[in-house]
Structure 1
Amino acid sequence: MALVQPESTPQVFCEPLDRMDPEVLYRLLWLRSEVFNGEQHCTDDDLDGRELEPASRMVWAEVDGRPVSTLRILEDPGVVVLGRLATDAGHRGRGIAAALVLRALQECAGRSVAIHAQAHLKDWYAGFGFVVDGEPFEEAGIAHVPMRLTR
């Protein structure tokens, strides 16, 4: 009988695009495409050029050296914007996405943070202190709500 090796604990990283390994970046963008375009059938393009802005950062988790979850941090006037949170289907429900959000919030300590949360995740984001900050809207063919964490 073969022993099954458990997965290692996820490692979380945060880097600006120009300091990232190109293969890791490719895998993260592929993951986003898989989730947003494949699973969720989003109607908008995922790649909007915002990652190329000098202040943007990518946050991601790796399990056994393989990227399994990602989000991005953007700088807008007066607020930090978190977005494009995506986790590989086989790694959901393990707290990896929560670890990314917590890391992102550490990265922007003391600053207000805005998100466009998919409506069905509103309560999940509320667990981090986000509150609804406007009317629901549709983005990329999916119901969203604006949320903000004021610090």
Structure 2
Amino acid sequence: MEFRIKRFDELELIELYKILRLRAEVFVVEQDCVYQDIDNKDQKALHVIGYKNDEVVAYTRIFNTGDYFENASIGRVVVSENARKYGYGHNLIKKSIEGIQEEFQTDQIKISAQCYLEKFYKKHGFKQIGEEYLEDGIPHIAMIRS
């Protein structure tokens, strides 16, 4: 798997299309969640894109401190369904953490995690803060890594 980190204005049109298609396949179709994915935050984010054989199979967007939460953050974490068995999610989170450290010079990261992924994120140093809440009808928890 090859990872690239790009600003919004560096994304090629076909690349943006593949990212949005993957996000829709997983967040809207697979998770059966109707929500506004296009939220005008992509322009502020850095995009961590995982490629396998020229296809986008993994993706996150990362934010600097204050651009989404009070800390740097990782969001829209997604791996295509047929690629999950290879552990690409762990590679994706590691690359996203490295991207935040290199691009934003911070180790303080906050995420809004789907509850069923709590153990996954704990493996990467995240700890739950606060109570469970609903986000777009799906149970989530806030988590911090420092």
Under a length normalisation based on structure 2, what TM-score does the superposition of the two structures give?
0.90
Matched, 1:117 2:113: yes
Amino acid at match of 1:102: K
CA contact (8 A) 1:57 1:73 kept: yes
Q: Which residue of 75, 86, 89 maps to 2:81? A: 89
Q: Provide the rounded CA distance (Å) in 1 between the counterparts of 2:78 and 2:96.
A: 14
Give the distance between the partners of 1:127 and 1:146, measured in 2 at CA. 15
In structure 1, the partner of 2:135 is 139
Sequence identity (%): 27
Provide the residue aligned with 2:25 in structure 1.
Answer: 34
> SS state of the match for residue 64, structure 2?
strand
Q: Deviation above 4 Å: which 4+ runs of structure 1? A: none
Shift in Å at residue 18 of structure 1?
0.6
Corresponding residue pairs, total: 139
Deviation at 1:76, TM superposition (A): 3.8
Instruction: Please say if residues 48 and 96 of structure 2, whose CA atoms lie closer than 8 Å, have aligned partners that are also in contact.
Output: yes
Q: Does 1:67 align with 2:56?
A: yes
Map 1:10-21; keep pairs closer than 5 Å: 10-21=1-12
> Which is higher, the Rg of structure 1 or of structure 2?
1
Q: CA RMSD in A?
A: 1.1
- Native 8 Å contact 1:71 1:85 kept in 2: yes
- The reply on whether 1:52 has 2:46 as its aligned counterpart is no
**TM-score if structure 1 supplies the norm length?**
0.88
* Letter paired with 2:29: G
Q: Residue type matched to 2:12 in 1?
A: D
Give the aligned residue type for 1:75.
N
Gaps of 5+ in 2: none
Write the mapping of 1:95-114 to structure 2, written as runs, cut at 5 A: 95-109=87-101, 110-114=106-110
- Structure 1 gap ranges (5+): 1-9
Structure that is richer in helix per residue: 2
Q: 91-100 or 30-39, which moves further after superposition?
A: 91-100
1:103-133 alpha-carbon deviations (Å, 9 max, x no partner): 1111122331010110000010000000001
